Amino acid sequence: MNVTYLVPLILIGGLTSAGVYLLLERNLTRMLLGLLLVGNAVNLLILTVGGPSGNPPIRDRTSGNETTEADPLAQGMILTAIVITMGVAAFVLAMTYRSYRLSREEDIANDLEDARVSKLSERSAAALDEDLPEHQPARDTDAPDELDALPGHEGSR
């Protein structure tokens, strides 16, 4: 591997890992910063994978003494990614502002209703497990049954 490609790859890895770490926080501002770091890491990755620099992709234009033409796809993808990242960042910033205005807190707390529904579903799953006889196979099998609509099967019409 060429050493010139190693430095950007290490930088991409560092930006991505720092961004993911910040995305896993419960603070909305840190989540926004993590989102921006991951977006910049993806842009740098696209630029690195896009290949070496060259002449601009415009007819009869040259840049120094380059012999190859630069790939315009990487540049277009990066511009598109920047616009998308800024749109998502504006949305997260608006959510952060709205959350702060409503609760005067920036940290996301556990949702009490979500915890209650989760406990109810655990209880109902345990009750269903107790009601099933032990010798009865589970309904989720690969064997065909009366609900299958396979051609040539007795239950299909």
Asked whether residue 157 is domain-assigned, the answer is no
pLDDT of residue 17: 96
pLDDT of residue 142: 62
Number of structural domains in the chain: 1
Domain that holds residue 19: 3-58+69-103
Asked whether residue 50 is domain-assigned, the answer is yes
Q: What's the farthest any 2 CA atoms get from each other in the chain?
A: 80
Asked whether residue 81 is domain-assigned, the answer is yes
Asked whether residue 13 is domain-assigned, the answer is yes
Main-chain phi, psi angles of 128, to 5 degrees: -65, -35
pLDDT of residue 20: 95
CATH classification at residue 21: 1.10.287
pLDDT of residue 28: 84
pTM of the model: 0.62
Taking residues 25-47, what's their average pLDDT? 90
Asked whether residue 7 is domain-assigned, the answer is yes
Query: In whole numbers, what is the pLDDT of the chain averaged over residues?
Result: 78
pLDDT tens column, 52-102: 777 777 777 777 776 777 778 888 899 999 999 999 999 989 988 888 888
Question: Of 48, 45, 51, 42, nearest to 82 (Cα)?
Answer: 42
Asked whether residue 116 is domain-assigned, the answer is no
Asked whether residue 123 is domain-assigned, the answer is no
pLDDT of residue 70: 74
pLDDT of residue 151: 58
Asked whether residue 148 is domain-assigned, the answer is no
Express as a percent the part of the chain with pLDDT over 70.
75
pLDDT of residue 132: 57
122 compared with 73, residue with greater pLDDT: 73
Question: Of 81, 86, 91, 89, nearest to 42 (Cα)?
Answer: 81
- Mutual orientation of helices 3-23 and 28-49 as an angle, nearest 10°? 160
Taking residues 28-49, what's their average pLDDT? 91
Express as a percent the part of the chain with pLDDT over 90.
27
Strand, coil or helix: what is 27?
strand
